[in-house]
Chain A
Amino acid sequence: MKTALKKVRGLGAAHNGVHHWWLQRVTAIALIPLVIWFTAKVVCTVSCNVSIDYILKNEFSLVLFALTLFTMLYHSTLGIKVIIEDYVHCKCAKPGLIIAINLIAWLTGIFLLFVIIKNFVALV
């Protein structure tokens, strides 16, 4: 059954099939409850009269905060990649920008991981 058609149906022009499209949706679904939690937390900060630091000073909040940030970072990097692919046609700038956004995501993500670890260690 390994016909050319099957190959195209399976992987398509980007050679990784619907992987990117699918992960964009999965992260979008994950972000629905996470964004509700995060914005509710920020709005509640003032009306419930607690400090915004509370997010970093509570184990449960810290884990949800980490999930929110990392999912956002991943979702937005996928989205920016699509924008670059659609609007940048220069053969140098397109791969260059895509590499750049991936490096920025890794750099930001690793640093954020240490922010989370530092705050978590301070709690236990």
Chain B
Amino acid sequence: MKGAQTKARPLSPHLTIYRPQITSVLSISHRASGFFLYFGLLIFSWFLIFSNLDATFAAGIVDITKSFFASIVGKIALFFWTLALYYHFCNGIRHLIWDAGYCFSIKSVKVTGVTVVIVSVALTLFTWFNGISTLVK
């Protein structure tokens, strides 16, 4: 009986029936951006490793990386890595504030959430207008 009851029962939380809210969207975005950044860190690390430690690959790796980031796909990827880094950074500070026991009211959760989005987008645009775009030219 237990088997029949537990089989194929819906799992909570029922994500599909919820209307997306700023709290839930920012929460999953924190995970998604962290996941995305993990691969960015690995790619960056292995670029450093091959270009520094392997003489046979060094020149080729640098050329491939340069042409990738000069392409439109590379630029879009780097743009989203910048955004993910700033978002995860700002929202991470928001999480640390919660860990310290502050800003738990619905109002402050919403206000800090909107602030995080505005600040991370602003920092991304600032970065792109002030450097990275010329760096990858």
Q: CB within 8 Å of B: which residues of A?
A: 25, 28-29, 31-32, 35, 39, 42-47, 52, 69, 72-73, 76-77, 79-80, 83, 104, 108, 111-112, 114-115, 118-119
Contacts and interface: CB of A to CB of B under 8 A. Distances in A.
Interface of B: 31, 34-35, 37-38, 41-42, 45-46, 48-49, 52-53, 85-86, 89, 92-93, 95-96, 99, 126-127, 130-132, 134-135
Tell me the interface secondary structure of chain B in the complex.
helix
Contacts of B53: 111, 114-115, 118
> Which of A25, A43, A108: most chain B Cβ within 10 A?
A43
Contacts of B52: 115, 118-119
A83 B41 contact: no
A83 B131 CA distance: 33
B134 to A, nearest CB: 5
Given A32-B93, A39-B85, A73 B132 contact: no
Contacts of A47: 130-131
Given A44-B131, A46-B135, A79-B34, 9 more contacts: A25-B96, A28-B95, A31-B92, A79-B38, A80-B38, A83-B34, A111-B45, A111-B53, A112-B48
A45 B45 contact: no
A114 B48 CA distance: 11
Given A42-B135, A43-B130, A47-B131, A73 B49 contact: no
A54 to B, nearest CB: 13
Contact of A111 (B49, B85, B89, B92): B49
Nearest to A72: B41
Contacts of B46: 108, 111
